[in-house]
A and B are shown apart, each in its own frame.
Chain A
Amino acid sequence: MNKALLAALLVVLPLACSPVYQLKAPAAFARFTTGDTNRWITADGVRMRVREVDNDPKAKLPFWKEALGGHLKKRGYKPKGSQDFQTASQLPASTLTFLLPRGNGDWVMSVTLLVAGDRIIVVEVVGLWQRWKPHEAALHQAIVAFSPSE
């Protein structure tokens, strides 16, 4: 019984501690209100999640961009493109987009890194290519307007 309680706490505590981001997701995305609330999903299954990790060792965006891009390429993801930009709150950001044939379709994993001092905000979007594509521009706009400190 104690073990089950401990396990439940281990799952719930990090969620309770993680910040709730006020990201204005595109209209097609609905936000989860239970569990991790930094998750959004469209009716056709394109998923988005925002989380943060420690900027440790402390490095700038190009460092993390290279580390993540290189790692995913080594794993077998096909790079589709990358886009560097600044958010409305002047944070340097970069979106790396990868393709992965999975099942009968091509899947997209788009990872946006925002380096904010000691934190790295990671915005991950995953979905089937043809379902993700119509949302690509709106998602980019939402991330540009995103201010993690809100």
Chain B
Amino acid sequence: MNVHLRWNLPPVAVLSLLVPGLLVVLACPVEAGPPTTSPPLHKTAKSPKNQSKSQSQRQARHTALSASLVIKVADPAKVRRRILKLIKKSGGHPALMTDSQLNLKVPPKQLSATLAVLGKAGHVLDKKMSRADMTEQIARLRGRLRSKTALLARLRGFLDDSGVGATLKIERTMQQLVREIEGLKGRLRLAVSRSTMADVRIRFQYRNPTQLRYVRSPFGWINSVDVHRFLREF
């Protein structure tokens, strides 16, 4: 005897069985760890070269590198032109350009060379570098994206066989899922982009002559420590 459950249960009942399950799946991402390569359907003998390749693929880490510099220069426009020329050569591109700021995207391998050149472009007042491992975040995002996409496909299958009320409920759930999938895709794109290009932020400071203030110290000899006085007396 063939029993077709979908014909025997009303669509609302199907949905009421499905939605709690959906909520559980939504709350628990399917994959939280780094991605693993699934084994091939028909096993073939792997050469050592292939093995090491797949190992290195498994071990490939996604690293986001970023650096920020404050450079004091006499002519920021000239320095900016030089930097842009260099970045273009090394495969990078500018992300933001203002009179006093320059944000660049540079291939990670070129970061050290770029920073070395930037260091010579002017007087570096401040330099910060950071490195963040994005592997886990990217794997988690990919896992959540996969599970939500699969769920969306399953929901689509139910649409054909459900009544009006159930269809509305399924559509609402699907809309919510689509919103979440789009958000995840955006976050994934950002995370992958952060790991494929290093972020370099440069802030230029102009060389403005400083007006020294006259301040009197209670200690006489301290008042005599002064660049102008030194040069006059020397």
Q: Which residues of A contact B (CB under 8 A)?
A: 39, 41, 47, 49, 53-54, 67-68, 71-72, 74-78, 100-107, 109, 111, 120, 122, 124, 126, 129
Closest 8 CB pairs of A and B: A53-B221, A71-B217, A74-B215, A76-B212, A101-B210, A109-B227, A126-B230, A101-B209
B212 touches which of A49, A75, A122 (Cβ 8 Å): A75
**Given A100-B227, A109-B230, is A74 in contact with B222 using a C-beta cutoff of 8 Å?**
no
Establish whether residues B234 and A76, one from each chain, have CB atoms under 8 Å apart when the complex forms.
no
CB distance from B42 to the nearest CB of A (A): 66
Establish whether residues B234 and A39, one from each chain, have CB atoms under 8 Å apart when the complex forms.
yes
B207 touches which of A67, A68, A101 (Cβ 8 Å): A101
Establish whether residues A68 and B210, one from each chain, have CB atoms under 8 Å apart when the complex forms.
no
Establish whether residues A100 and B225, one from each chain, have CB atoms under 8 Å apart when the complex forms.
no
The main secondary structure of chain A at its interface with chain B is strand
Establish whether residues A122 and B234, one from each chain, have CB atoms under 8 Å apart when the complex forms.
no
* Chain B residues with CB under 8 A of A76: 210-213
A54 and chain B: residue at smallest CB distance: B221
* Chain A residues with CB under 8 A of B207: 101, 104-106
A49 touches which of B74, B214, B215, B230 (Cβ 8 Å): B230
Establish whether residues B72 and A67, one from each chain, have CB atoms under 8 Å apart when the complex forms.
no
B225 touches which of A39, A104, A124 (Cβ 8 Å): A124
Establish whether residues B234 and A102, one from each chain, have CB atoms under 8 Å apart when the complex forms.
no
A103 and chain B: residue at smallest CB distance: B209
Establish whether residues A102 and B227, one from each chain, have CB atoms under 8 Å apart when the complex forms.
yes
Q: How far is the CA of A71 from the CA of B212 in the complex (A)?
A: 11
Contact sample, A vs B, 8 pairs, CB 8 Å cutoff: A47-B234, A71-B223, A75-B212, A75-B226, A76-B211, A101-B210, A109-B227, A122-B221
**Given A67-B222, A122-B221, is A106 in contact with B123 using a C-beta cutoff of 8 Å?**
yes
Establish whether residues B231 and A126, one from each chain, have CB atoms under 8 Å apart when the complex forms.
yes
- Looking at A102, A111, A120, the one whose CB has the most chain B CB atoms below 10 A away is A102
- Looking at A76, A104, A120, the one whose CB has the most chain B CB atoms below 10 A away is A76
Given A101-B207, A101-B208, 10 further pairs, Cβ under 8 A: A39-B234, A100-B212, A100-B227, A104-B74, A104-B207, A109-B230, A111-B225, A120-B221, A126-B230, A126-B234
* Chain A residues with CB under 8 A of B212: 75-77, 100
B226 and chain A: residue at smallest CB distance: A75
* Chain B residues with CB under 8 A of A109: 225, 227, 230
Q: Per-position contact with A for B199-219: 1 when CB-CB < 8 Å, else 0?
A: 000000001111111110101
Q: How far is the CA of A127 from the CA of B156 in the complex (A)?
A: 76
* Chain A residues with CB under 8 A of B219: 67
Establish whether residues A129 and B123, one from each chain, have CB atoms under 8 Å apart when the complex forms.
yes
CB distance from B225 to the nearest CB of A (A): 6
A107 touches which of B211, B223, B227 (Cβ 8 Å): B227
Q: How far is the CA of A68 from the CA of B227 in the complex (A)?
A: 14
* Chain A residues with CB under 8 A of B72: 106
* Chain A residues with CB under 8 A of B230: 47, 49, 109, 124, 126
B234 and chain A: residue at smallest CB distance: A47
* Chain B residues with CB under 8 A of A39: 234
A71 and chain B: residue at smallest CB distance: B217
CB distance from A60 to the nearest CB of B (A): 14
Establish whether residues B213 and A75, one from each chain, have CB atoms under 8 Å apart when the complex forms.
yes
CB distance from B234 to the nearest CB of A (A): 5
A102 and chain B: residue at smallest CB distance: B209
Q: Which residues in chain B, 66-102, are within 8 Å of chain A measured between CB atoms?
A: 72, 74
